[in-house]
């Protein structure tokens, strides 16, 4: 009795594995930059089944379907942030034109077979759209000159991005990590969800900060996880006219 049951269970598993369609992999890019196209792939194996439909959903809303028996075989539905390029889409892939921040979400591919099996399988993947700053961070707050005992008070402001840029201050190539010397301001939100970050540097000045008579203050902005970074440097002199941001950058 026991071995027989075992054998039947085993046979069912085998059948499922060998004759049913299955989604092997759904390939969705984890990150795309706003304005780029996005290729979403649905890799499936029909085995002995016949394809009935491939449907794509974003956050559970259908936006594309491919039914080989229909003419035309594909159809797309209007969804915020989704524009399908029909010329670059078929039963195995969907290409989205110029993605926007609204294109971010969970993408699911659902494959269904015709009679007699009516089998269906699905897989999903998440895509996040990021917006990179158009320009580097800006340094403000410089004074004409500085003296020992003054407090250096600078702000670094990132260009608009999504997600927020991470800012870091360096003085003479050394990263400032002390909370006492940094002032974190809350993010400023703009249209379309873009944000700017501001990080203040509040450094009591000592002689050691001016090796060779000048202090180099540099701010680095990064938007992760997409590798984007830019920096600005200010060369601050002791009791001497200040060199402009952009000039300092050229000197670098």
Ligand X SMILES: *[C@@H]1O[C@H](CO)[C@@H](O)[C@H](O)[C@H]1NC(C)=O
CB-nearer residue toward ligand X: 153 or 172 = 153
Kindly identify the residues of this chain, within the stretch 180-199, that bind ligand X according to CB under 6 A.
185, 198
Q: Taking CB under 6 A as the rule, does residue 245 contact ligand X?
A: no
Q: Which of 77, 84, 75 is nearest to 37 (CA)?
A: 84
Of 43, 153, 172, 245, which one interacts with ligand X (CB under 6 A)? 153
Of 29, 133, 137, 200, which one interacts with ligand X (CB under 6 A)? 200
Q: Which residue has the tokens 């993605």?
A: 99
CB-nearer residue toward ligand X: 113 or 199 = 199
CA distance 159 to 201: 18
Size, binding site for ligand X by CB under 6 A: 7
Beta bridge partners of 126: 106
Q: What are phi and psi of 17, to 5 degrees?
A: -75, -30
CB-nearer residue toward ligand X: 79 or 198 = 198
CB-nearer residue toward ligand X: 33 or 187 = 187
Beta bridge partners of 123: 109
Of 68, 73, 125, 141, which one interacts with ligand X (CB under 6 A)? 141
What's the min distance (Å) between Cβ of 157 and ligand X?
8
Beta bridge partners of 134: none
Rounded to a whole number, what is the largest CA-CA distance in the chain? 96
What's the min distance (Å) between Cβ of 167 and ligand X?
12
Of 53, 103, 104, 155, which one interacts with ligand X (CB under 6 A)? 155
Q: Which of 150, 185, 174, 169 is nearest to 233 (CA)?
A: 169
Sign of the four-CA dihedral 93, 94, 99, 102: negative
* Residues in touch with ligand X (CB under 6 A): 140-141, 153, 155, 185, 198, 200
């Amino acid at each position: 009795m026991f071995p027989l049951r075992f054998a039947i269970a085993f046979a069912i598993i085998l059948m499922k594995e060998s004759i049913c369609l299955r989604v092997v992999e759904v390939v969705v890019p984890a990150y795309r930059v706003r304005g780029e196209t996005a290729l979403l792939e649905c890799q499936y194996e029909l085995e002995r089944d016949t394809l009935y439909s491939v449907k794509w959903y974003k956050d559970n809303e259908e936006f594309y379907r491919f039914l080989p028996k229909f003419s035309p075989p594909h159809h797309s539905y209007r969804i915020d942030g989704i524009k399908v390029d029909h010329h670059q889409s078929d039963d195995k892939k969907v290409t989205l034109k110029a993605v926007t921040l609204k294109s971010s979400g969970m993408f699911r591919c659902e494959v269904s077979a015709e009679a007699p099996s009516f089998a269906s399988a699905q897989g999903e993947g998440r895509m996040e759209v990021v917006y990179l700053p158009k320009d580097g961070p800006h340094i403000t707050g410089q004074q004409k000159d500085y003296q020992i005992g003054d407090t250096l008070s600078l702000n670094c402001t990132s260009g608009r991005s999504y997600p927020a840029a991470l800012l870091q201050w360096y003085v003479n190539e050394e990263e400032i990590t002390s909370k006492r010397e940094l002032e974190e301001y809350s993010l400023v939100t703009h249209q379309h969800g873009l944000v700017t970050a501001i990080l203040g540097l509040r450094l009591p000045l000592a002689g050691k900060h001016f090796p060779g008579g000048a202090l180099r203050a540099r701010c680095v902005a990064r938007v992760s996880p997409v590798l984007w970074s830019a920096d600005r440097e200010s060369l601050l002199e002791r009791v001497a006219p200040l060199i402009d941001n952009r000039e300092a950058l050229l000197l670098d």
